[in-house]
Structure 1
């Protein structure tokens, strides 16, 4: 009954199943590891942010470029404040507001974007306090350039003059002529009655949309593996039923399947016998007439 498993067709099916199941399990495990890695990165970032609050600030130049090891670390920089911009549609503690972003022209000749604080409501330059005059020294958490569309960063364009949707070098270079650092700083203590903006985790960490996509792909690959097993057992059961029916004589194992064979009546069937009798009855008068014609008259 199971001899059909040795046919070339079933050899191909079995080889496909043996390759597909481990592949699906491997891909599902890999996607799960990616999700777990993002969760671990979030925990590491949170622990790093907590420890950074008690660490001694270090000069900005020593902490660049920004990476996962330096992200959120406290840095210091000195210079003079210059142009001020607003970053609208930023939420803090469940309320909508905007960031006050001021460009600090450092003593090294380059410009560092500094978020001096957050204010509630719609972005309005009249609400934003003017930056301190003269030489200043700032201390805050180091942040990498934002990517529009990620982690709640607005990707909208066409903002009024004096506003930017993202705090990134790519966005600010179109608004100012200064040589910008590929980083920004959020002050630990906000200026002039504004609320301090907490440091955020680096991109690619935390339970964001991409992390849950990895978790969803994990479930899909494991479902694919189960579907392959289900279809193999279904095909096997159908072949066993066909073989059993053939042994019992319920079905013909080698029955013709062509359209001509399906249209022609089988020998020995009632339809074939009826057609044969009708043809014989039609031919009988002609045969009798031939016999009479051939008999000599005495």
Structure 2
């Protein structure tokens, strides 16, 4: 009854199945490992942010450009506060509010965006305390420029004067008349009754869309492997039924079963 397994057609089917199943399992396992790597990277980055808070601050110039190794590190820089902007629609501890962002003019002429703190409610210039005057030295966690549309950063345009949706050198350079560092810092201790904004893990080191895409692809490859097995048994069952019917003279043996 099972002699049909030795026919050229079934040799081809069996070879395909024997190659397809390991390939699907390999690809599913690889996608799963990518997801696990991203989960571990997220844990490491989160732990690193906490660890960096207790490290000695280093001059800003030693930590630039910002990368995964320097993001979250304590940076110190001296300058004079200049233009102040508000960053609306920022949440902290589940509450809606806004950041108070002030540009710190350094001796080199460039300005460093400094988040001096967070305030609840809608963005209002009257609520934001004025920045200290004279030369100041600030210390805070170094962060990379934000990308509008990523990680909850608004890509909204048409904001009122004095507001910016993203803390990004590309956005800020259009709002101030001087060069801006491609980085920013959030103060460890917020100014004038505001709440300090905690540092975040660097981009591409968390449970983002790419991570869950890897998890989705994992499921797809394992489903493909199961589908191949299911179809092989289904074809086998149909062929066995046909062979049994042929032995009983119910069908002509030459008709075969279409795959």
Q: After superposition, give the CA deviation of every residue in 1:158-185 in whole Å (9 maximum; x if it has no partner).
A: 2111111111122222222322211110
Comparing both structures, which one devotes a greater share of its residues to helix?
1
Once the 2 structures are TM-superposed, how far is the Cα of residue 31 of structure 1 from its aligned partner?
1.5
Which structure: larger Rg? Answer: 1
Higher RCO (Cα < 8 Å, 6 or more apart): 2
Match of 2:17 in 1: 17
Match of 1:116 in 2: 116
Secondary structure of 1:232's aligned partner: helix
Once the 2 structures are TM-superposed, how far is the Cα of residue 208 of structure 1 from its aligned partner?
3.2
Distance 1:255 1:96 in 2: 72
Match of 2:2 in 1: 2
Matched, 1:181 2:181: yes
Distance 1:209 1:192 in 2: 37
Superposition RMSD on alpha carbons, in Å?
1.6
Q: After superposition, give the CA deviation of every residue in 1:85-128 in whole Å (9 maximum; x if it has no partner).
A: 11111000010000011111111221111101000000111111
Deviates more, 1:161-170 or 1:208-217: 208-217
Q: After superposition, give the CA deviation of every residue in 1:241-267 in whole Å (9 maximum; x if it has no partner).
A: 1112111211112359xxxxxxxxxxx
Distance 2:45 2:254 in 1: 69
Match of 1:40 in 2: 40
Distance 2:255 2:62 in 1: 84
Match of 1:64 in 2: 64
Kept in 1, the 8 Å contact 2:109–2:178? The answer is: no
Match of 1:106 in 2: 106
Secondary structure of 1:174's aligned partner: coil
Match of 1:208 in 2: 208
Q: After superposition, give the CA deviation of every residue in 1:189-216 in whole Å (9 maximum; x if it has no partner).
A: 0011110000001111223333223222
Distance 2:14 2:177 in 1: 66
Distance 2:189 2:214 in 1: 37
Distance 1:255 1:175 in 2: 78
Deviates more, 1:88-97 or 1:175-184: 175-184
Runs of 4 or more above 4 Å deviation: none
Once the 2 structures are TM-superposed, how far is the Cα of residue 230 of structure 1 from its aligned partner?
0.8
Secondary structure of 1:126's aligned partner: coil
Distance 1:108 1:35 in 2: 43
Unmatched 5+ stretches in structure 1: 257-298
Kept in 1, the 8 Å contact 2:112–2:181? The answer is: yes
Kept in 1, the 8 Å contact 2:80–2:133? The answer is: yes
Question: Residues 12 and 160 of structure 1: is their aligned pair in 2 closer, same or farther, counting only changes over 3 Å?
Answer: farther
Question: Residues 255 and 100 of structure 1: is their aligned pair in 2 closer, same or farther, counting only changes over 3 Å?
Answer: closer
Secondary structure of 2:80's aligned partner: strand
The alignment's TM-score, normalised by the length of structure 1, stands at 0.82
Q: After superposition, give the CA deviation of every residue in 1:23-44 in whole Å (9 maximum; x if it has no partner).
A: 2112211211121111111221
Question: Residues 146 and 255 of structure 1: is their aligned pair in 2 closer, same or farther, counting only changes over 3 Å?
Answer: closer
Unmatched 5+ stretches in structure 2: none
1:247-262 correspondence runs (5 A): 247-254=247-254
